[in-house]
Chain A
């Protein structure tokens, strides 16, 4: 069975993403130990907590994450886990992210309810991307966030969401994928996305 490490920042609900990945056909472990991450096929950066705190918690694991990616491991960032992959974030001061995706994490502007909480529709720009295989344009997925990614590289953009303006819902490059929404909370659509990820990691 394909094995996934869910990186543990010590904050919030990691049980649901573990359960979701298990339903998708993978074995999932929740860990912050370098040697356990070394032995898996894919890494998930989950979506809970605040940027600075999460970054501090994963700092010792960053070399391992980069080594894993270079060695061909698939990576999925979810919500905050997606935001950590960008160049920098303005959440709680300016902080450097992993800079895998170029761009900045900014607060959702005034003029709407913040946080955005609830089900919003995907506008799929790259229907051939393997993460959205079988997902129809306009499918509802679950968001819960106060910050969004201002993406600089057009080719990385797989899908957008509209909350008064368009911003990235899914970005991807090579075997690295990230979603602003929570697939583990997005019903059957979310389960399909997790299954797609499990399929990607074994191919």
Chain B
């Protein structure tokens, strides 16, 4: 039986792993290669490495970190941040990544997804999408948008690009559906409302997304406890859960989380 995956995420600036709240207030959290090896030995199913500055100057540093990280582990590695072309994808895969995550460049140029999935296979193209809830009082305020009544109120989800700095004004569900039809092999949604808060994942969003697309979904943003991860995999119907702070702070190991999930009947690799 296919196991649910637990994926620690390493957000990187200038070759160091950082941790912030709602994409801001970044603090140093360690050396990426050391952290990658530690999470591998704790039983992580995959690792995600995101270059959150995504600057041109940072490219060489990123390639170097990808090579050293990939050489140090024997689990899959996804790399994202500032990927703009199929040539960028090729360089990162050649450096030892198994998958790339594409976010801003895919929104600005959706054909990039199709091009990359045709060349490298859809199994290595992950669509990362940053979303934020836009609350409305009544449905007529957001015509054409997918509205859901959440415990916090009626809302739709807007797509953000450039690391959460710029709103696109596009229904997130429609964008993901388009990206899947173009060849995205996995979806990795992050929430600007929940990221770094430790109060749980955006479950209504995840559950709706799972009903709409037939590719695997990696839930991201908001894990504060193993129970939150359980909820993302059950209520949120995700295939994998990504988390950062909960692991970086040493509150729980990956193995702690997996043992908890196993005790709740979730298939995990222990």
Question: Is B214 a contact partner of A144 (Cβ separation < 8 A)?
Answer: no
Question: Is B2 a contact partner of A115 (Cβ separation < 8 A)?
Answer: no
Residues of B within 8 A of A110 (CB): 214
Question: Is A15 a contact partner of B94 (Cβ separation < 8 A)?
Answer: yes
Question: Is B269 a contact partner of A114 (Cβ separation < 8 A)?
Answer: no
CB distance from A82 to the nearest CB of B (A): 14
Q: Interface readout for B204-228 with A: 1 if CB under 8 Å, 0 if not?
A: 0000000000111000000000000
Question: Is A48 a contact partner of B96 (Cβ separation < 8 A)?
Answer: no
Cross-chain pair count, CB within 8 angstroms:
108
Question: Is A114 a contact partner of B214 (Cβ separation < 8 A)?
Answer: yes
The A-contacting residues of B in range 38-65, CB under 8 angstroms, are 40, 45
A120-B2 Cα distance, complex, nearest whole Å = 4
Q: Is A67 an interface residue (CB 8 A)?
A: no
Interface of A is mostly: mixed
Residue of B123, B215, B269 near A145 (CB, 8 A) is B123
Question: Is A185 a contact partner of B76 (Cβ separation < 8 A)?
Answer: yes
Question: Is A140 a contact partner of B95 (Cβ separation < 8 A)?
Answer: no
Q: Is A99 an interface residue (CB 8 A)?
A: no
Which of A34-42, A128-136, A150-158, A187-195 has 4 or more CB atoms under 8 Å from chain B? A187-195
Residues of A within 8 A of B98 (CB): 13, 16, 144, 182, 185
Q: Is A119 an interface residue (CB 8 A)?
A: yes
Q: Is A146 an interface residue (CB 8 A)?
A: yes
Closest to B239 in A: A113
Residue of B3, B75, B94, B215 near A187 (CB, 8 A) is B75
Residues of A within 8 A of B3 (CB): 118-120, 140
Q: Interface readout for B118-131 with A: 1 if CB under 8 Å, 0 if not?
A: 11111110000000
Closest to A91 in B: B121
Question: Is B93 a contact partner of A12 (Cβ separation < 8 A)?
Answer: yes
The B-contacting residues of A in range 136-191, CB under 8 angstroms, are 140, 142-146, 162-163, 182, 184-188, 190-191
Interface of B is mostly: loop
How many chain-B residues does the 8 Å CB contact rule pick out? 34
A41-B263 Cα distance, complex, nearest whole Å = 47
Residues of B within 8 A of A50 (CB): 118-119, 121
Question: Is B74 a contact partner of A188 (Cβ separation < 8 A)?
Answer: yes
Question: Is B122 a contact partner of A115 (Cβ separation < 8 A)?
Answer: yes
Say yes or no: A118-B5 contact (C-beta < 8 A), given A13-B96, A113-B239, A186-B74: yes
Say yes or no: A113-B74 contact (C-beta < 8 A), given A16-B98, A120-B3: no
Residues of B within 8 A of A114 (CB): 214-215
Question: Is B76 a contact partner of A19 (Cβ separation < 8 A)?
Answer: no
Residues of A within 8 A of B2 (CB): 116, 118-120, 143, 163
Say yes or no: A48-B94 contact (C-beta < 8 A), given A118-B216, A191-B74: no
Residue of B71, B96, B216 near A117 (CB, 8 A) is B216
Q: Is A68 an interface residue (CB 8 A)?
A: no
Residues of B within 8 A of A142 (CB): 75-76
Closest to A164 in B: B2
Closest to B96 in A: A15
CB distance from A75 to the nearest CB of B (A): 22
Residues of B within 8 A of A80 (CB): 121
Q: Is A25 an interface residue (CB 8 A)?
A: no
CB distance from B86 to the nearest CB of A (A): 11
Q: Is B67 an interface residue (CB 8 A)?
A: yes
Question: Is B96 a contact partner of A20 (Cβ separation < 8 A)?
Answer: no
Say yes or no: A12-B120 contact (C-beta < 8 A), given A120-B1, A120-B2: yes
Question: Is A162 a contact partner of B216 (Cβ separation < 8 A)?
Answer: no
Question: Is A113 a contact partner of B70 (Cβ separation < 8 A)?
Answer: no
Say yes or no: A11-B239 contact (C-beta < 8 A), given A113-B214, A144-B76: no
Residues of B within 8 A of A (CB): 1-5, 40, 45, 67, 70-71, 74-76, 93-98, 118-124, 185-186, 214-216, 239-240, 269
Rank and list the top 7 A-B pairs by shortest CB-CB distance, nearest first.
A15-B96, A140-B269, A115-B123, A144-B123, A119-B269, A119-B3, A120-B2
13 additional A-B pairs beyond A15-B94, A16-B96, A185-B98, beta carbons within 8 Å, are: A15-B71, A16-B70, A19-B71, A48-B121, A49-B119, A49-B120, A53-B119, A118-B240, A119-B2, A120-B1, A144-B98, A144-B123, A187-B74
Residues of A within 8 A of B (CB): 11-16, 19-20, 23, 48-50, 53, 80, 110, 113-121, 140, 142-146, 162-163, 182, 184-188, 190-191
